[in-house]
Structure 1
Amino acid sequence: MRGLRDPICAIATPPGKGAIGVVRLSGEGALELAARVWRGKDPRGLKGGRFTLGEVVDPRTGEALDQALLLVFRAPRSYTGEDLVEFHTHGSPAVLRRVLEALVEAGARVAGPGEFTFRAYMNGKLDLAQAEAVLALVEAEGDLARRQALRALEGGFSRRIEALEGRLLDLLAHIQALLDYPEEGVEPLEAERVLREALAEVEGLLAQARASRLAQRGARLALIGAPNVGKSSLLNALLGYERALVSPIPGTTRDYLEAPLELFGIPLLAVDTAGVRDTEDPLERAGVERALRIAQEADLVLYVADRSLPRPAPPPLPWERTLKVATKADLPPAWEDPDFLPVSSHTGEGLARLKEAIRETLLGQGGGEYLLTERQVEALTRARERLLEALTLPEDLMGLALEEALNALGALRGRQGVAEEVVARVFARFCVGK
């Protein structure tokens, strides 16, 4: 990115029409530059956090571009740590474009992707983990991703890493003292205990990686079973409205049907598939083959069987990620099996239990405290490998492995000389204006 102090500007609201649009300006001389495009109270005399009403004007001609609100944040109490000004205009694309052009004419330049947050990072307002949380929060599509990203943005993840680094630094310093000053009678430290506690902390964070991936990208849920066992009815019950056609005639669903839903904050794409059975009908057989293929690719499969009828032979499924569901639980049972969750789409019996089982199968018991990026998972994996290595070494040789583990942990927060290309990769996915 170019100069870290020159004034930058960008439209901060999404493309399209809206009631309100926001154009941001930050950097050295931002208040003076804002005064060149503003007719109203001088921004240079405003207190931080105060709105004022006026007009945005063309700095060359004085033509009014829009009536707007101007909001000033003074350094260092701003998002970027610099003087920052926001113009709250009407949300017309034409208005926003002209306000941006006016700021460029007055001496600012258009910001690059993520440049506002990059400045916040460089000015110590955010660490690298918090900056990644900003992007995750902007991109969150489900409530779980929102909660996870917000906890990381508020510093919870960074504080855990900082505390872990502190314990390992104490251990490294103690080992160094034992080696350098053996005659001083330095008390031995339980290195193995400290390492195992640190390893458990790292592995606990890594265990959240699957939940993070699902929270960010969602999960695909496939409903598989013989014809007329209640798959479509179960889909409708999960959705809370009628999406799939329900009929007593077997083989109604020849192709698959998709519907989005959200359970416990997880965005899901539920897929109702054709009934699986042996058939000579080429069209129905193609539907069966597609259903089995969808099951193999799904994050979670619901194998649906009708408990009121004799149970058919189960199809080949990825059983390690399959929940077994016995439908029509409101009718007299023809069979019982404790591995199946009894559900009635008609009365709602067992539906809450099934939803909870879906959550636990996808996310585990904890549900994931923080949203982890691929970069963070890589760094935590490196730290785990070095900690495991340190456990195999005598105290006089474990120092190097400890240093490498600390470097990996430091990279999570952007400490200890994180490579410039790593930082660039973090901010490359940001939108302009954030």
Structure 2
Amino acid sequence: MRLRDPICAIATPPGKGAIGVVRLSGEGALEVAAKVWRGKDPRRLKGGRFTLGEVVDPGTGEVLDQALLLVFRAPRSYTGEDALEFHTHGSPAVLRRVLEALYRAGARPAGPGEFTLRAYLNGKLDLAQAEAVLALVEAEGDLARRQALRALEGAFSRRIEALENRLLDLLAHIQALLDYPEEGVEPLEAERTIREVSAEVEGLLAQARASRLAQKGARLALIGAPNAGKSSLLNALLGYERALVSPIPGTTRDYLEAPLELFGVPLVAVDTAGVRDTEDPLERAGVERALRIAEEADLILYVVDRSAPKPAPPPLPWGRTLKVATKADLPPLWEDPGFLPVSSRTGEGMDRLKEAIHWALLGEGGGEFLLTERQVEALHRVRERLLEALSLPQDLMGLALQEALEALSALRGRGEVAEAVVARVFQNFCVGK
């Protein structure tokens, strides 16, 4: 792929809109823009300034649209190159003709993520920040947005850089031990440094599940006996009536899904059929499906009516199950401190339940950083090499520490990073970003 020639792409989503944006970047981008622009010469404009004019076909001179042109001068642009944005009306026909005009003027279509790839290659972003760009574009919940923004601002990269520096210092001292034994580091000091870096890595890995759920969302299954209050609880969590509520047991024969967001995390709550022994084949099929849904869910709410006799619990994965006692506004027939009492009618206990759901899914803090699969794999390699280093005498630690350091550096895209790794990072980007 040529990585300096001018590229262009539509940067706004498909479909009609008030405004559409076409991006252009690369060596010669200003000259390309001058061929399709009727107004102030883009080659003479200062960076960061808008100008009003018309986009024209460079072959026929036909006016394609009135537009605003925004110029970014290298290196003060997203890509680090001369770059421009044409802000046109958001008609697909207009945007298509503007692209065709730029092709005729000498630009080529950008590949997926090529603008961000150029930003990485030109030192405007490191690889972790580039991954954060994609995560920010794809964020569906507010927590994922916050995590991605922290990574884009460099918080994750700075944490990794600090660990790299500690290992570099240790590696230098160990090398000094080989060349000048009297200059080496104390064995206990070396072990302490490795254990402290390992603890930092473990702390980052502990956030992997929270990061995945923040980005991809979670499934929340409501399981319980008929008439336990599952549908009412679902409606209370949603804040509107989604499920049919009836005092007749067994109203819900199949499952019902509804999206919601709690503490910035996108969830899909699933109301299921009441779980009980039954001879009705249709109801039995609903019970079996409910238990399968529970098995596949990220978190289960086991819902029991505390104003009725306590039923025998169904077979559930209790390690990811919250026990909820509904109808807390009615006199209880039993008490159990392991259950959270709530009332879907009055709202009693609902805030505590939401906080418990948040804690069960994400743990304390909800995850400071976004972590991609690639980053989790690299951190696992770092941890393995550090554990290996601890098992070796000091004069043999060097190779394991060097490999740990290389894995850390790969997180930011520093040092030797295989082309396949870079391609993997950018393969899911949209064209125009």
TM over 0.5: yes
- Aligned-pair CA distance for 1:49: 0.5
Task: Check the 8 A contact 2:174/2:184 in 1, yes or no.
Answer: no
- Spell out, residue by residue over 1:376-425, the C-alpha distance to the aligned partner (whole angstroms, 9 max, x if none): 00000000000011111111010000000001101100011100111011
Q: What residue is the counterpart of 1:56 in the other structure?
A: 55
Question: What is the distance in 1 between the residues matched to 2:125 and 2:111?
Answer: 18
Q: What residue is the counterpart of 1:204 in the other structure?
A: 203
- Aligned-pair CA distance for 1:263: 0.3
Q: What residue is the counterpart of 2:171 in the other structure?
A: 172
TM-align CA RMSD: 0.8
- Aligned-pair CA distance for 1:186: 4.6
- Spell out, residue by residue over 1:75-127, the C-alpha distance to the aligned partner (whole angstroms, 9 max, x if none): 00000000000000000000000000000000000000000000000000000
Q: What residue is the counterpart of 1:278 in the other structure?
A: 277
Q: What residue is the counterpart of 2:193 in the other structure?
A: 194
SS in 2 for 1:161: helix
1:309 counterpart = 2:308: yes
Question: What is the distance in 2 between the residues matched to 1:250 and 1:261?
Answer: 26
1:12 counterpart = 2:4: no
SS in 2 for 1:396: helix
TM (normalized to structure 1)? 0.99
- Taking structure 1 as reference, are residues 187 and 371 closer, same or farther at Cα in structure 2, changes over 3 Å only? closer
Q: What residue is the counterpart of 1:38 in the other structure?
A: 37
Alignment of 1:246-395 (within 5 A): 246-395=245-394
1:150 counterpart = 2:149: yes
Question: What is the distance in 1 between the residues matched to 2:14 and 2:354?
Answer: 37
Q: What residue is the counterpart of 1:401 in the other structure?
A: 400
SS in 1 for 2:368: coil
- Spell out, residue by residue over 1:30-52, the C-alpha distance to the aligned partner (whole angstroms, 9 max, x if none): 11110100001111111111000
Question: What is the distance in 2 between the residues matched to 1:187 and 1:151?
Answer: 35
Question: What is the distance in 2 between the residues matched to 1:121 and 1:297?
Answer: 38
SS in 2 for 1:268: strand
- Aligned-pair CA distance for 1:357: 0.4
- Spell out, residue by residue over 1:348-395, the C-alpha distance to the aligned partner (whole angstroms, 9 max, x if none): 010000000000100011210111110000000000000011111111
Q: What residue is the counterpart of 1:217 in the other structure?
A: 216
- Aligned-pair CA distance for 1:73: 0.3
Question: What is the distance in 2 between the residues matched to 1:181 and 1:288?
Answer: 72
Question: What is the distance in 1 between the residues matched to 2:176 and 2:276?
Answer: 71
SS in 2 for 1:222: strand
Which ranges of structure 2 fall in alignment gaps of 5 or more residues? none
Question: What is the distance in 2 between the residues matched to 1:266 and 1:178?
Answer: 50
Counterpart of 2:235, as a letter, is: N
Structure 1 residue ranges (4+ consecutive) displaced by more than 4 angstroms after TM superposition: none
Counterpart of 1:188, as a letter, is: E
Which ranges of structure 1 fall in alignment gaps of 5 or more residues? none
Q: What residue is the counterpart of 1:182 in the other structure?
A: 181
- Aligned-pair CA distance for 1:187: 5.5
- Aligned-pair CA distance for 1:216: 1.2
- Aligned-pair CA distance for 1:188: 2.9
Q: What residue is the counterpart of 1:28 in the other structure?
A: 27
Q: What residue is the counterpart of 2:430 in the other structure?
A: 431
Question: What is the distance in 1 between the residues matched to 2:404 and 2:181?
Answer: 25
Question: What is the distance in 2 between the residues matched to 1:222 and 1:4?
Answer: 48
Question: What is the distance in 1 between the residues matched to 2:185 and 2:44?
Answer: 61
Counterpart of 2:302, as a letter, is: Y
Question: What is the distance in 2 between the residues matched to 1:238 and 1:78?
Answer: 44
Counterpart of 1:209, as a letter, is: A
Q: What residue is the counterpart of 2:122 in the other structure?
A: 123
Question: What is the distance in 2 between the residues matched to 1:160 and 1:292?
Answer: 42
Counterpart of 1:74, as a letter, is: R
Counterpart of 1:9, as a letter, is: C
Question: What is the distance in 1 between the residues matched to 2:346 and 2:185?
Answer: 68
Alignment of 1:42-121 (within 5 A): 42-121=41-120
SS in 2 for 1:398: helix
Task: Check the 8 A contact 2:174/2:185 in 1, yes or no.
Answer: no
- Aligned-pair CA distance for 1:3: 1.3
SS in 1 for 2:267: strand
Question: What is the distance in 1 between the residues matched to 2:283 and 2:110?
Answer: 55
Question: What is the distance in 1 between the residues matched to 2:308 and 2:335?
Answer: 11
Question: What is the distance in 1 between the residues matched to 2:224 and 2:420?
Answer: 49
SS in 2 for 1:80: coil
- Taking structure 1 as reference, are residues 187 and 149 closer, same or farther at Cα in structure 2, changes over 3 Å only? closer
